Structures are given as C-alpha cells and as structure tokens.
Amino acid sequence: MNDPTKVPLRRFARISMFIALAGAATARAQQEGSVPGEPISAAKQFVGQLTKGEFSPARARFDATMKRVVSEAKLAEIWASLISQTGPLREQVGARTEKVGQYDVVFVTCKFERSTLDVKVVFNRDRQIGGLFFVPSRSAADDKPPDYAKPDSFREEEVVVGSGEWELPATVTLPAGEGLFPAVVLVHGSGPNDRDETIGPNKPFRDLALGLATRGVGVLRYDKRTKVYGPKLAAAAGKITVKEEAIDDALAAVALLRETPGIDPKRIFVAGHSLGGMLIPRIAARDQRIAGFVVLAGTTRPLEDVVLDQHNYLFSLDGETSATEKEILDKLQQQVARVKDPALSAETPGADLPLGIPAAYWLDLRGYDPAKAAKRIRRPLLILQGQRDYQVTAEDFAGWRESLSSRANVRLKQYPTLNHLFMHGEGAGTPAEYLKAGHVAEIVVEDIARWIETL
C-alpha cells in the first residue's frame, strides 16, 4: 500500500492491514516466563517451519482471516524476499511476549546472516495466528530524541483524534508559551504505523514533532487506523480504500487542531509522508480551510509501478537475480498487469494483485495522478525529497516539479544525502539502513519551520 512502505524490510515491518495485527498503544510488555509458555513454544515452532520451507503446515496455524489473505505461495514469497535481503536464518536467540487484550504477541528474536530481526507472531485466544510481522529487534532501539529538540521549548499532551468507532490515540506537541501558534498534522505512509511512524529504532514523526515544536510550530500525530483497528479492518478488507486508511483520519486531526487551545485555526497545515504525501491533493480537496501542505517523499507514479520498481531495485542490490527472485518478479509483473487491466473489478481476487491488496483499493486509485491533481491546490505547497530514497525516487520528484514549478507559492527541494526517512546516509539506499538509529535531518525541520513562518 505504498511505499509500500512500506517494501522489504520496510514492507515486512508494515506489511499492511490485510495480514498484520498491530498491538494497541497500551500494550503491556512481559518477559518470557511471565505468561504460560505455550505461545512462545508455538511461535518458535512456526518460525522453524518457515526456516525449513514447510509453508503448508505453517499456514495451517493461521486464523480464517490470515488464511484468506495469505496463501501458501504468498507466505513462501514473503519468506524468500526476506531471506534475499537478510541472508539465511542462523538461529533463534530468544523470545518475549506482550499481552494485547485477548491476544498473545510473541517476538522471536532471530539472528540472520546479515541482521537480527524479531518475528512478531500474534495469537488469538484459540492459539491461531492472527498477525505476522518482521521487525527490527528491540535490542537495537535507541530512543534518544534528536539534539535539536529542546524539552524546555514545548510540552506534550495525550489527545484523541476522531470519535466513535474509529477514535485514535494521539499526541499534540505544543510550543511553550501562550500562542496562537501555527500547527501541522502528520499523515503516515503505508501500513499500520504508530504515531511516531516507527521503523526499526527510528521515529521520524517524533523527530519532526519535537523539532518543529522547538521552533514554535505545534504538531499533532496519531496512531494510524490500520494499527489500532487492524482486525476490524482486515475483516472488511475488500471495501477499504485510501479514504478509510488515511484521509478521513487526517481530516479529523485537522478538525481537532482547530479546537485546540493555543493553536491558530487559520494556520493549520498538513504534512504527508510517502503514501500520505501522495494523498495530499485528495486531503486538500476535502478541506478548503487548510492553510498549506508539505509533501515528504510523495510518489507521483501509479502505486503498482512503485511496488514493482522497489522489488526490482532490491533484488538487484547483490548484482544478480536468483531463480526465486525472478519467480517473484514474474508473478508481480502479472499482478501489476491485472491492476492496469480495464477488466479489473471488485470481484478480482486480492491474491491476483500486488501485495495481496484487494481490488477495491486499486480501483479507487485508478486514474489518480497526484502531481496533476495538485495543480488544483491553489494554497502553498512545500515538496521535499531525499535523493538517496529508493522507495520514492527522483522520478516522482520530477512529476511534482513538472506540474508545479511555475507556481510562485510552491517550493521544491531535494537533499543529496537523505533517504526515505529524511535521515543522512551514504551510498546506495538499502533496507538495512532503516535498522540503524538516526534522526530526521535538522535542515528538514528548519526548512519546514521557516516555510511556515513565511505564510
């Protein structure tokens, strides 16, 4: 579902609401031995089956929803793609659990040839697997905020975005003082992101929030609907579009900011990252009072083409394409062709489409050209792009530039050393880079704050 994000390893960390169950924000961590050992044993056995290529018995552990959206072939494809990046699994080095409502969430820490990851397995009360993630090991996390964030310059409050069945836990970061302050809503990329848009040890949305608030700009960030309500959305996956995934909640967040004391309701902005950036024109069309927009690595190409290009790039990193990788690419090309086929209908099985995402999602995006749609936004736009970003590339940035560069109230800027997370790096971008702790570059925070100050 984008950048799909979120893809390998990013794809695995956020693989999408259709096969992943995210833990609630209030999940309580527990150490191994603090709950009955059966879930840990079952999770270790499940990982062992994946390692041995025993995908049929591994899939037999899934609940009905997982079986519907993840075929045996899809499970094999996911594992093969992972191994192509991390190398073979050498050993399981530990496990821990979390209790999330009625679910037991087990993290099996696995040492692969080139990195250490946690295989996150979610069990329902019947010991069936209702969610599967591949995420960086928690031991790699570095939770230190960026140096440019000055704690005395802001305060944070817990709030709720939306109401009723889709209310979302959120954090508003407010500059110190009376206000009225300008403010920004942060809109996530693909997959079940938390409010910090956590990927590995990195928290780009937290960095932006603390950095901007230090510079006098309020920020609202929230857990994404696909994280908080994963099982509920999975049950209705065939009807989900980007409206339900992202747009409705972004607009609800804007509405909340307008009612927040200390915030100037006439100077509220929306900043979208990756998929969120791609959707800025749709968000803008729904609320004419938003003051301006920031596009952070927003794609302008058809999403199915982005997914295919990402796979081609990742499989090329080692200089050769294996037989398994070629098989995956061939199948993905067929799935992309199905998306583009005029005969695509709501009845087309998700298994025949990229990432297993149902047809309704692809049909909703058919004909959507973000760069052309942005021409209808007469309000200010700031479009930022990391030149080392392999997920959203120079081709996407060129799309924005071609459509908007003649506009006086549009600013476009690229950063030579930054990746998809707007963090510094060197050489060709790789998924392994997301496993290294870093922070959003200070220049990005400064550029956004200065741009807002001029409006």
> Would you please indicate which residues are annotated as catalytic (active-site) residues?
274, 389, 420
Which residues touch 251 (CB under 8 Å, ≥6 apart)? 283, 286, 287
Residue 285 to residue 375: CA distance in whole angstroms = 11
Contact 137, 437 (CB under 8 A): no
Residue 39 to residue 35: CA distance in whole angstroms = 9
Which residues touch 283 (CB under 8 Å, ≥6 apart)? 187, 247, 250, 251, 270, 272, 290, 293
C-alpha atoms less than 13 angstroms from C-alpha of 450 in its C-beta half-sphere = 7
Strands (E) in 4-68, as ranges, are: 28-30
Nearest to 10 by CA among 192, 161, 215: 192
Contact 179, 264 (CB under 8 A): yes
Judged by DSSP in three states, 410 sits in strand
- 352 CB neighbour count, 10 Å cutoff: 15
- Go through the chain and tell me how many residues it has: 455
The distance of Cα 390 from the centroid of its chain, to the nearest Å, equals: 15
